[in-house]
């Protein structure tokens, strides 16, 4: 924690309190209210944590007004252009870009853990074939704690490290197996001669009956999608991982909790929902109808892939993703992709509409990602599992940071209770 830089005065009733304030390296100052209940006998009320910092962190910073995303200080667009996913994993986990020797060692460690316990294949066969791959991911990742007993003791730094490497290494295998299971094809074992993204594509799209060459254009685009989703500070799923971890739960259980939270359409499920929306719109002439629905207070419909709690400007990931969608479709020789056309025109129409500009609603990371994933051959149901595998490193980095924080305590929010006060039980015949 930074040193106290100033004091905030809070007065209510006959009480006057002085609360410590801290200045971050970037972002707004924070008022420390941790002693508020003890000193003032009041709680704060902040549904959705819109004004509450639940931890201090050195990993990721978002400037929502500028539309800037930094990992350990490095802007996401530079990382997307110049780096690659495993290097970004190292950066998030350990704080700095690796030297050549550190990168080699890290990649070796990750690569040596790509296979899953063979018994886990039996676990998959307990699921219905038509299960959503996210349902399978939640179950299988949670079950990892039943397979890897030697890396569940969170008090042991070595076990924490092994669990972290295991999850980064195995998540592509687990996601690809979930996909293969739902389409009834045999599981494909990982290939350690391939890079991280190519290995994932190979596990998803190769079959034992034929030779399969991973397209390097798609492999690069896949790696960039992983990179763009790697971490995003204290979002809902990351906060879920931290909250689960605050009780001392094992790392596999914590990441399974994060995956469950990510699945919702307001969070990671938005990429699937967005592509489905773009397809439902279908043609450019139907855009005004959908814009009108998004603006209608009585219609629950929202433009998926639009808006963000923190960004009040372009999501910098969306900019890279849009450029990537153009490049990938171009390189694949796809001309006039109707979904991309609808997406571009919808973005334009929304950004010319005062409803969206006044509320500062801009495209987010999910707006263009589905178009690329679909061009690669993924069904929409795989979009959120791919988000989950990319975000695993962010969740783990934040979980490790939390465990190393001497101030860490079990997360336990308070409430504004509006229910009945004490009343006596009434026997059923007298109700
Ligand atoms: N379409 C239409 N109106 C919207 C949208 C949208 N996509 N997003 C926000 N609004 C309106 C909302 O109705 C509200 O209007 P009013 O002030 O008149 O009541 C105002 O904008 C503020 O919305 P909010 O729900 O209070 O904002 P929030 O910060 O709680 O929600 C959000 C952020 C991402 C959940 C929301 O923008 C949303 O539902 N977007 C669509 C889903 C989506 O694309 N999610 C992916 C987010 S990025 C990836 C990730 O983090 O997982």
CA distance 91 to 68: 18
How many beta carbons lie within 10 A of that of residue 302, not counting itself?
Answer: 17
Ligand 1 centroid to residue 304 C-alpha, Å = 9
CA gap 105, 98 in Å, rounded = 10
Q: What one-character DSSP code corresponds to residue 265?
A: T
Best residue among 276, 307, 384 to mutate for probing ligand 1's pocket (most ligand atoms within 8 Å of CB) is 307
Distance (angstroms) between ligand 1 centre and the Cα of 389 equals 24
Is any ligand 1 atom within 6 A of the Cβ of residue 368?
Answer: no
Cα(306) to ligand 1 centroid in Å equals 7
List C-alpha distances in Å: 73 to 59, 61, 70.
8, 8, 5
Q: Is 366 in the pocket of ligand 1 (CB under 6 A)?
A: yes
Is 162 near ligand 1, meaning CB less than 6 Å away? Answer: no
- Two tokens, residue 35: 């002693």
Strands of 30-31's sheet in order across: 4-12, 15-22, 30-31
317 within 8 A of 228, measured Cβ to Cβ: yes
CA geometry: angle at 374 spanning 368 and 378, to 5°? 130
Kindly report, residue by residue over 28-67, the tens digit of the pLDDT: 999 999 999 999 999 999 999 999 999 999 999 999 999 9
End-to-end Cα, the chain, rounded Å: 55
Q: How far is the CA of 169 from the centre of ligand 1 (A)?
A: 33
Q: Is 362 in the pocket of ligand 1 (CB under 6 A)?
A: no
| β-bridge partners, 61 | 70
Name the 3-class secondary structure at 61. strand
Q: What is the pLDDT of residue 3?
A: 79
DSSP helix/strand/coil, 10: strand
Residue 12 sits at φ, ψ, to 5 deg, of -155, 145
pLDDT score of 355: 96
**Confidence at residue 108, expressed as pLDDT on a 0 to 100 scale:** 97
Q: What is the DSSP string of 155-182?
A: T-HHHHHHHHHHHHHHHHHHHHHHHHHH
**Nearest residue CA, atom 8 of ligand 1?**
307
Collect the ranges in the chain with pLDDT lower than 70.
1-2
Q: Which two tokens stand for residue 387?
A: 């988000």
Tell me the C-alpha distance between 410 and 247, whole Å.
5
Strand partners, 16: 11
Q: Which residue minimizes the CA distance to atom 10 of ligand 1? A: 307
Cβ atoms of 235 and 258 within 8 Å: the answer is no
Q: What is the C-alpha to C-alpha distance for residues 310 and 50, in angstroms, rounded to an integer? A: 9
For the CA of 269, the nearest atom of ligand 1? 52
Does any ligand 1 atom lie closer than 6 A to the CB of residue 302? yes
Cβ–ligand 1 contact at 304 (below 6 Å): yes
| Residue whose CA lies nearest to ligand 1 atom number 21 | 359
DSSP letter at 306 equals B
Per the document, the length of the chain is: 431
Question: Counting atoms of ligand 1 from 1, which one is nearest the CA of 268?
Answer: 52
For residue 269, report the distance from its CA to the centre of ligand 1, in Å.
13
In 3D space, the residue among 268, 265, 272, 271 whose CA is nearest the CA of residue 301 turns out to be 265
- pLDDT computed for residue 242 by the predictor: 98
Number of the ligand 1 atom closest to the C-alpha atom of 232: 51
307 lines ligand 1 (CB under 6 A): yes
Q: Whose CA is nearest to atom 24 of ligand 1?
A: 309
**What amino acid positions are annotated as catalytic residues?**
308, 366
Strand positions, DSSP E, 333-374: none
306 contact partners, CB below 8 Å, separation of at least 6:
294, 350, 356, 361, 362, 363, 364, 367
pLDDT of residue 1: 57
Could you tell me if the CB of 303 is within 6 A of ligand 1?
yes
Q: Are 69 and 232 in contact (CB under 8 A)?
A: yes
**What is the spatial distance between Cα 412 and Cα 139, in angstroms, rounded to a whole number?**
26
Measured from the Cα of 387, ligand 1's closest atom is: 52
How far apart are the CA of 428 and the centre of ligand 1, in A?
45
Coil vs helix vs strand at 101? helix
Helix (H/G/I), strand (E/B), else coil: 15: strand
Phi, then psi, of 334 in degrees rounded to 5: -85, 115
């Amino acid at each position: 924690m930074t040193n106290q830089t100033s004091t905030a005065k809070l007065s209510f009733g006959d009480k006057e309190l002085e609360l410590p304030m801290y200045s971050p390296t970037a972002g707004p100052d924070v008022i420390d209210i941790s002693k508020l209940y003890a000193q003032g006998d009041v709680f704060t009320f902040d549904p959705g944590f819109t004004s509450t910092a639940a931890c201090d962190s050195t990993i990721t910073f978002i400037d929502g007004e500028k539309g800037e995303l930094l990992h350990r200080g490095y802007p996401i667009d530079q990382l997307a252009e110049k780096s690659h996913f495993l290097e970004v994993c190292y950066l998030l986990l350990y704080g700095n870009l690796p030297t050549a020797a550190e990168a080699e060692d890290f990649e070796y460690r990750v690569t040596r853990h790509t296979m899953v316990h063979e018994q886990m294949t039996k676990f998959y066969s307990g699921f219905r074939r038509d299960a959503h791959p996210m349902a399978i991911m939640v179950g299988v990742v949670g079950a990892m704690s039943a397979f890897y007993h030697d890396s569940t003791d969170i008090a042991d730094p070595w076990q924490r490290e092994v669990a972290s490497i295991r999850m980064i290494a195995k998540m592509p295998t687990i996601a690809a197996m979930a996909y293969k299971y739902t389409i009834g094809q045999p599981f494909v074992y990982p290939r350690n001669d391939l890079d991280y993204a190519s290995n994932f594509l190979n596990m998803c799209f190769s079959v034992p009956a034929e030779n399969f060459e991973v397209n390097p254009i798609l492999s690069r685009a896949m790696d960039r999608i992983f990179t763009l989703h790697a971490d995003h500070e204290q979002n809902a799923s990351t906060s879920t991982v931290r909250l689960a971890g605050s009780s001392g739960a094992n790392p596999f259980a914590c990441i399974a909790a994060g995956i469950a939270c990510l699945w919702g359409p307001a969070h990671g499920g938005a990429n699937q929902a967005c592509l489905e929306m773009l397809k439902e719109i279908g043609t450019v002439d139907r855009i005004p109808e959908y814009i009108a629905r998004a603006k209608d207070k009585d219609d629950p419909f929202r433009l998926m892939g639009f808006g963000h709690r923190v960004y009040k400007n372009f999501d910098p990931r969306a900019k890279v993703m849009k450029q990537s969608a153009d490049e990938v479709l171009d390189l694949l020789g796809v001309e006039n992709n109707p979904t991309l056309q609808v997406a571009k025109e919808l973005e334009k129409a929304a950004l010319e509409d005062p409803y969206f500009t006044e509320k500062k609603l801009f495209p987010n990371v999910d707006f263009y990602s589905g178009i690329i994933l679909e061009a690669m051959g993924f069904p929409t149901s795989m979009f959120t599992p791919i988000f989950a595998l990319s975000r695993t490193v962010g969740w783990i980095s934040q979980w490790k940071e939390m465990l190393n924080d001497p101030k860490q305590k079990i997360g336990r929010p308070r409430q504004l209770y509006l229910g009945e006060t004490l009343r006596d039980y009434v026997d059923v015949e007298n109700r």
